[in-house]
Amino acid sequence: MIDTITIKPFDETHIEGILELFKEVFGGDVNKEWFHWKYLSSPWGSVGYVAKNSNKVVAYYGGIRFKFLYKGTTLWGYQLCDVMTKANYRGVLFSKTPIVAALGEMLYRENSMDFAFGFPSLRHARLQAVRLGGQGYRLIRLFYKTINPLSARSVLSVREGWEGLELRGVQRLMTSNSLVGPLAMVKDIDYLKWRYCQHPLQTYSLLVFKGLFRHIGLIVYTIKGGMINIVESFLRDPMDCVKVFTTAESYLHHRHPDIDKIALWCHPDSATSTCLTSLGFQSEDHIPIAVNPKSLGDAEVFYKGFFYSMGDYDAA
């Protein structure tokens, strides 16, 4: 079995096998359109590596490239995703290394990066730490609440629809987003169009919030698992947080009266976490986030500085 295993970058001939493996490992109804969107259309490029045996894909290791800013410097990070191995190959070694780790080594070797990160299972987080230079993991903070129709109130005007990206001042609002941390993923209009408008399997909606004279906030949300998930939020000024989220709760209650739960991710060091708590959101530990700091050096720069959103995971 070991002698016939080969590892290499994926090409078009591997896509059907990768999709079959994904369905076997993770479930879900993925297709070629989804794969092309994710790995061939992302703004800054994506990579993926396969292990084959007897002409069958038995493992895969993917990465999406993202642009970050840190203290005025551009950094490049790969989000590791779709890391998977066929069940009966998980104990098999390739050159004295677990197959999936060999694929990870190839990804790191062939692609320049400042760091790599992802939202792995605990098993894969430990594999990263033991085999590939990862430095531990942290748990995402999930905020959630049951919508109270009596307390939800609208104090801002709201416009729903992706044409809102073309409104005057919206791009300036995005570039001055006050919710990002010291290590900020670049999320411009092209990113939002790719990530949400062009997603072939999930529907997302954009809300634009306007005060008296200007647009002060954006929210991207989706309905998933019987819950309203806020996957992105942008604010011009953190002082507007209460107004934006209060208005969002009121608007979403009237827009989707059959759904009474709302959730989002928020880094505990973000000012937004205080705002959400004041609005009655509860919070709890959620899934892991992990980093291989590479040339970034200190893993804490990532763990303390990257203010994640739910959409970051949903892209994986």
Structural domains of the chain, count: 2
- The answer to whether residue 22 is domain-embedded is yes
The residues, ordered by sequence, that sit 6+ positions from 184 with a Cβ below 8 Å of its Cβ are: 68, 69, 70, 306, 307
**113, 131, 149: which is the final residue of a domain?**
113
Indicate if 80 and 16 belong to the same structural domain: yes
Q: Is the CB of residue 159 less than 8 Å from the CB of residue 292?
A: no
Residue with tokens 């760091």, as numbered in its chain: 115
In this structure, the answer to whether residues 283 and 159 fall within a common structural domain is yes
> Looking at the structure, do residues 158 and 294 belong to the same domain, yes or no?
yes
Tokens linked to 182: 């010291």
Please indicate, yes or no, whether residues 15 and 151 belong to a single structural domain of this protein: no
How much is the pLDDT for 152?
67
Decide: residue 72, CB within 10 A, 0-12 exposed, 13-18 middle, 19+ buried: exposed
CA distances for 223 relative to 145, 202, 251, 259, angstroms: 15, 9, 14, 9
Query: For residues 316 and 311, what is the distance between their CA atoms, to the nearest angstrom?
Result: 9
79: helix, strand or coil: strand
Same domain, 162 and 104: no
Q: Do 83 and 161 sit in the same domain of this protein? A: no
Tokens of 6: 């080969």
Conformation bin of residue 45: beta by default, left when phi > 0, alpha when psi is -120 to 50: left
Please write the tens of the pLDDT for every residue from 246-301: 999 999 999 999 999 999 999 999 989 999 999 999 999 999 999 999 999 899 99
Q: How far apart are CA 242 and CA 245, in angstroms?
A: 5
**Does residue 186 have a pLDDT over 50?**
yes
Shared-domain flag, residues 101 and 147: no
| Within-domain flag for 132 | no
- Tell me: do 81 and 145 sit in the same domain: no
In sequence order, which ranges of 235-294 are alpha helices (DSSP H)? 241-255, 271-278
Structure confidence at residue 128 (pLDDT): 76
Q: Are residues 172 and 301 in the same domain?
A: yes
- The domain of 101 spans 2-113
Query: Residue 266: inside a domain, yes or no?
Result: yes
Confirm whether 242 is domain-assigned: yes
Name the nearest CA neighbour of 178 among 219, 231, 240, 236.
236
Residue 170's closest CA among 204, 206, 203? 206
Q: Which two tokens stand for residue 147?
A: 């919508």
Domain boundary pick from 113, 128, 153: 113
Question: Token pair of 210, please?
Answer: 């306007």
- CATH code: domain of residue 23: 3.40.630.30
Q: pLDDT tens across 156-181, in order?
A: 999 999 999 999 889 889 988 888 99
- 304 and 177 both lie in a single domain: yes
Q: What residues contact residue 256 under an 8 Å CB cut-off, 6+ apart? A: 223, 228
* pLDDT one-digit tens code per residue, 73-120: 999 999 999 999 999 888 787 777 889 989 999 999 999 999 999 998
